[in-house]
Homo-oligomer: A and B are copies of this chain.
Amino acid sequence: MSLLGDCYKTVRQRSEAICSPLQTEDYVVQPIVDVSPPKWHLGHTTWFFETFILKPYFMGYQEYNPDYNYVFNSYYETVGARVIRTDRGNLSRPTVQDVYKYRAYVDEAMFRFLAEEPSAEVKELMTLGFNHEEQHQELLYYDIKYILGHNPLFPAYDAGYASPKIEHLLAADFISMPEGIYEVGFEGEGFSFDNELNRHKVYLNAYEISPNQVTNEEYLKFINDGGYHDFRFWHAEAWDWVKANKIEAPLYWHLIDEQWQNYTLRGLEQLDLDAPVTHISYYEAYAYASWKGLRLPTEFEWEAAADKFKWGKSWEWTESAYLPYPGFAKAPGAIGEYNGKFMVSQKVLRGASEGTPPGHSRPTYRNFFHPSMRWLFNGIRLAR
């Protein structure tokens, strides 16, 4: 089989491996609008290859089920009506088994299609398809954790799940970065998303950035110091959010018999004080930094210093809004909807997380979420 075929197989199998510990019912539910049912992820990533590769490029390909276009489309307004996002968890059909059949059908067609060397244009789309499915693999981790972690029975995803360890450099000094012109953005061989292009110059003032992420122990001090009850540390919009949602701690933290418990993929556990704090919104990251008398780095400060610290356990909130780089242009057609249309009201995160597929991220990678989002694997690195 071709290298492209191998890549395809690896990517596709990884999605199914992530879901392998699930019960059928776990594939179906959608407890909040930001979460998608796992079976939807499995169907949607398959629909992507069917819609953008097989239907336009594989002569004689027979669409599996035209109704699936309706069910598994996500935001691609170009491609036609879609099930509204809030309704994904209301759909018992197609069943999980139906979705796996759909995957097998499309995979089989893809392998036949890849028997011949595809054009450069198709290869580019394939690579986008791989990276797209890898993004959904990361979302699968977020969504599965939310589905199980918000069930009153607190079931484990995998009792033996081991999250990667990040070494902390005790009492390490902040890294000093000199004032000057830096180059940021992607350039060179290999895949990047359109939002990382083009490589361009930025001017940075001198700054310092921490080699470590903030730990649960440090964050607990903020809580114990009344950080969630003192408006001075919060944006006005954040303060409204804290009060409206009665936020008192990171997501998945539970104060039980005066002990902090934390829901992990292994189930409910005592809070690990040494681990980096995670599942906090940008609002909380900012408030924590504010309480410390420090600040979050911008995405360019982060990128310029990224080879000087270890990253990769959880995405790190930056102070930067998600905006187009100089010269940014949307691709034509439905593919063009990929990134550009989210470039308002979002904050950039940099790094990667324990849910990120190997090789998926890089120092120029720009992840982005609304500042209130907490269900992703995220964290805090401070600057000054």
Contacts and interface: CB of A to CB of B under 8 A. Distances in A.
Contacts of A231: 77
A92 B345 contact: no
A119 interface: no
A89 B92 contact: no
Most buried by B among A75, A89, A282, A295: A89
Contacts of A205: 200-201, 326-327
B152 A26 contact: no
Contacts of A95: 23-25
A341 B234 CA distance: 7
Nearest to A65: B153
Contacts of A78: 232
Contacts of A89: 29, 89-90
Contact of A345 (B71, B207, B345): B345
Interface string A4-18: 000000000000000
Copies in the complex: 4
Nearest to A328: B295
B94 A153 contact: yes
A19 interface: no
Nearest to A342: B236
A242 to B, nearest CB: 12
A201 B67 CA distance: 55
Interface in A150-186: 150-153, 155, 181
Interface in A199-258: 200-203, 205, 207, 231-232, 234-239
Given A90-B89, A341-B236, A181 B203 contact: yes
Given A200-B205, A205-B326, A93 B237 contact: no
Contacts of A25: 24-25, 27-28, 92-93, 95-96
Contacts of A83: 152
A51 interface: no
Given A29-B28, A235-B341, A92 B324 contact: no
Interface string A38-74: 0000000000000000000000000000010011000
B90 A31 contact: yes
A131 interface: no
A37 to B, nearest CB: 9
B235 A29 contact: no
A83 B202 CA distance: 44
Contacts of A67: 152-153
Given A235-B341, A344-B347, A345-B345, 15 more contacts: A25-B25, A25-B93, A25-B95, A29-B90, A31-B87, A71-B153, A89-B89, A90-B151, A93-B148, A94-B153, A237-B342, A282-B344, A319-B323, A319-B324, A344-B371
Of all A-B residue pairs in the complex, the 7 with the closest CB atoms, nearest first, are A321-B321, A31-B90, A25-B92, A203-B203, A26-B92, A205-B326, A77-B231
